[in-house]
Amino acid sequence: MSRPILITGARVIDPVSGSDRTGDLFMRDGVIADAPDATPGDALVVDGKGLVAAPGFIDLHTHLREPGFEDKESIETGTAAAAAGGFTTVCAMPNTSPAIDTAAVVDFITHRAREAGPVRVLAFGAVSRGRKGVELTDMEELARAGVVGFTDDGSPVATGLLMEHALLYAGELGLPVMDHCEDHSITAGLGMHEGAVASRLGLAGYPSAAEESLVARDIALLGLTGGHFHVAHVSTAGGVEMVRNAKGRGLRVTAEVTPNHLTMTDEWVLGVNGSASGIARPLSLSAYETRAKVSPPLRSRSDRDALVEGLRDGTIDAVATDHAPHTFGDKATPFDEAAVGISTLETAFGSLMSLVRAGAIDLPTLVARLTLGPASVLGERFANLASLAVGTPADIVLFDPEERWVVDVSRFASKGKNTPLAGQTLQGRVRMTIAGGEVAFREAGQ
């Protein structure tokens, strides 16, 4: 059994109880415990002064790539990256090879995750067999193997009819259907927001309407079927508004947003990291920045502002990373040919803290959107993952909200070095991650 751990003098935020106090946090035997009068001799004592302790972050949307794409990431490296980013639970996406469409693949992932270390790996199952958009997977068998929801992420649920059936069948199992809302008939898989920047670069654009039309389809179907629809990586002001409206009507719809869409815009593709350079100026050699190519694409400033507001007011339940590691070669191409996605786990918290510093969201709310929010999407049985009550799992993140650090991708635990934040300074850093009562990550010097 692991050593007891005592964190002393930290600001302790518990999103479930709503408490926000300065004090100690003690854990032993893998759970939160009452602090004993005398610290056990074998305890690891961590000075939490100036730091914040909170439940470990929960990521609803992680591409671990294994099985099938181990050159991009493995369960071992992906969970190490999660721990480095303060995440103690990640939900593996099923667009692997083979897809997570049978219990055997779920078992494989569970087994590999147990070998890899203490971070909790949950899995989403595919909606359709082979993610081909035709037949439903054996959803009940997948549920018994442990999947926490269904998605064909990477692609949308191919047809309205399939989505209708998925909502009905998964709804009866009490599990959400997460949809990657992208009308392929409009986008043909593009990685650039339709707008002036795309036009300036001569790139075909993926308009906001291509997301909004599928969000609208799925919400309309939800009204018909009941069940639980979860919007993956919402990126548009229109999408946020539709979710707000549907929640107002009492539908079981939830939504997530990525740190990238909350903090970056399509201007990042100009390669100057969003500095207001003006698109009519000469393009720099860094233009066509493939590391800023992601699906859905980084959108306009007004979309970004609407996403931040949606996160603040609770329309958007959770921050999810959509961590999408790729190899060097996947991105070392002309923009059209580059893979979509950003390696996000290890920068998520640092970039989100910019929202707190800008006054757009307060720290306890941000912590809640990284813990209680995603736990609620997963359902009541996961609520204890976001709690610091005695007896709940000892999944803890300890972070310094003020520390400045430079993103050095060569130090990433993830195999994916693909982030446009490389070389940038972030403020707010994870110092330690404890998962199941064990130290899963510890920043040097802590």
Task: Give the three-state DSSP class for 64.
Answer: coil
Smallest separation, CB 186 to other proteins (Å):
12
* CB of 334 or CB of 445, closer to other proteins: 334
Smallest separation, CB 309 to other proteins (Å):
19
* CB of 3 or CB of 200, closer to other proteins: 200
* CB of 2 or CB of 424, closer to other proteins: 424
Cα pseudo-dihedral 247, 252, 256, 262, rounded to 10: 0
| Amino acid occupying residue 346 | E
- Strand (E) positions, 359-413? 396-406
State the DSSP H helix or E strand holding residue 353, giving kind and residue range, or none if neither. helix 348-357
Smallest separation, CB 354 to other proteins (Å):
19
Cα Rg of the chain (Å, integer): 21
My answer on whether omega of the bond before 36 falls inside 30° of 0, hence cis, is: no
What is the rounded distance in angstroms from the CA atom of residue 10 to the CA atom of residue 203? 49
Asked if 12 contacts 422 with a C-beta cutoff of 8 angstroms, the reply is: no
What is the rounded distance in angstroms from the CA atom of residue 157 to the CA atom of residue 141? 20
Smallest separation, CB 174 to other proteins (Å):
43
Smallest separation, CB 223 to other proteins (Å):
31
Task: Give the three-state DSSP class for 221.
Answer: helix
My answer on whether omega of the bond before 67 falls inside 30° of 0, hence cis, is: yes
Strand 31-33 to 52-55 pairing: unpaired
* CB of 331 or CB of 431, closer to other proteins: 331
* CB of 248 or CB of 278, closer to other proteins: 278
Query: Among residues 152, 322, 395, 400, which one is catalytic?
Result: 322
Query: Order of strands across the sheet with 57-62?
Result: 57-62, 87-92, 120-123
Structure letter (DSSP) for residue 183: -
Identify the residue whose tokens are 């996406």: 93
* CB of 47 or CB of 328, closer to other proteins: 328
What is the rounded distance in angstroms from the CA atom of residue 83 to the CA atom of residue 229? 28
Q: At what angle do helices 237-248 and 301-313 cross, to 10 degrees?
A: 30
* CB of 224 or CB of 332, closer to other proteins: 332
Residues that bind other proteins (CB under 8 A): 194-205, 207, 271, 278-289, 291, 300, 328-329, 331-337, 422-423
Phi-psi region of 424 (alpha: psi -120 to 50; beta: other; left: phi over 0): beta
Asked if 439 contacts 417 with a C-beta cutoff of 8 angstroms, the reply is: no
User: Which residue from 15, 132, 2, 85 is spatially nearest to 373, judged by alpha carbons?
Assistant: 15
The answer to whether 322 is a known catalytic residue is: yes
Residue 76 sits at the vertex; the CA angle it makes with 73 and 79, to the nearest 5 degrees, is 90
Q: Give catalytic residues, as residue numbers.
A: 322
